[in-house]
Amino acid sequence: MRRRMLWGWGAGLLTASVVLGALIVFGFSEPPAFDAWWNEFVSAHRADAMVHFALVLNAIGGGWIAILGVPLLAITILLLAGRWRAAVFAAICFAASAGAVQILKHLFGRARPDDMIVVSDFGSFPSGHTANAATIALVVWVLFPRVWTAVAGAVWIIAMALSRTFLSVHWATDTLGGALVGSAVVLLLAAGMLPWVRGIRTSSQPRGA
């Protein structure tokens, strides 16, 4: 994907996440109809298998595993493969995504569903777990652009998003916002860093740089 397209898609997805959050929080006094319907539907049809699946992803996608474990594992693998620039890119993506999520959480301060099964932190929008899943998926796809990495990444994001609503810890639109934020951060950073990550000298760089 060309840098101009990366800039465009990244900026577009980030803008969409902010607009979505603003519309939900400031445009509705109650959760939007789709959010309320989906939360009620899941609550009425929640099975033990769904909860167990969601609890596993809750542990993997949050806490120290997501904040330190997964990023450090990814960075270590890239370093062992001799891809130190890719490791730096991945580290910056993980940190920037987490920071963007916290900024939006405190900006919007959306309340979580009342019937959530697990305890979670402040701010429902956007979903940090889903944003982290999207960050991982997009980092892998940017560094290894293959059809199978795109498909696997999409499945991972959707699975994480569903798991958050299975636990009623997020509204459905929170997970959409998280996917948008996580994807946007990686694409924007890729637009600026990808030539360097690939060791390609740009026209603005002097020879020998």
pLDDT per residue over 118-157, tens digit each? Answer: 888 889 999 999 999 999 999 999 999 999 999 999 999 9
Query: Using CA of residue 181, residue 182, residue 186, residue 189, what is the dihedral sign?
Result: positive
Does 204 score more than 70 pLDDT?
no
Decide which of 71 and 158 is more confident: 158
What local confidence, expressed as pLDDT, does residue 97 receive? Answer: 96
Report d(CA 15, CA 91) in Å as an integer.
Answer: 23
Q: What is the pTM of this model?
A: 0.90
Decide which of 124 and 207 is more confident: 124
Tokens standing for 38? 């989906």
Residue 32 pLDDT class (50, 70, 90 cuts): very high
